[in-house]
Amino acid sequence: MTPTSLITNLQITSVIKSCTEILREKYNNQIRFEQYGRKGQGQNGIDIYGELSSEYIVAQCKNYFGINATKTLINKIDKDLNMSKKLPFYNKVKKFIIMTSMDRDTGIQNYIERKKQEVDFKLEVWFWQDMQKIICQAENRDLLQQYYPSLYQESEIDEDYIIPKDKN
């Protein structure tokens, strides 16, 4: 088997839940990340937030595919960054993470690099490849088993190995 990628066709509620758990794992459960608000409420440009020592890490989850995904995501990031200024804890935001199901994209990367000059916090984009590395790390096998039970094979997982996509 050759490494490829995990399937990214989760529903948006599953995407937000999985992104929340990915953040928890990335930060070794030292930050209590949770969904910000609920569907139908104004979320001020974020889906997830976590606080540590009076500083916040916030995230926006985007499950975009298709030909216009780059342009759509750039427009949405702009809107979300502007909306985030309404957060009651905006001045305490240390990091804003865009978590997307998109494959790595130079258009998005270049846009994020330009936007970093305009904000007072760290701005990052995590593409699906970045998130799948976290999911497939040996210590995070529970995430792989939870979201991809049909792909979970304990004997084949290791930190540098990505489970192949189902070809069906």
In the block, residue with structure tokens 């199901």: 101
Instruction: Tell me: pLDDT of 30 over 80.
Output: yes
CA 161 to CA 65: how far, in whole Å? 24
Dump pLDDT digits (tens) for 103-156: 899 999 999 999 999 999 999 999 988 988 888 777 777 777 776 666 666 545
Q: Which residue has the higher pLDDT, 91 or 8?
A: 91
Dump pLDDT digits (tens) for 37-53: 987 888 999 999 999 98
What's the angle, vertex CA 143, arms to CA 31 and CA 125, rounded to 5?
60
Going by C-beta distance under 8 Å and a sequence separation of 6 or more, which residues neighbour residue 106?
none
pLDDT classification of 59: cutoffs 50, 70, 90: very high
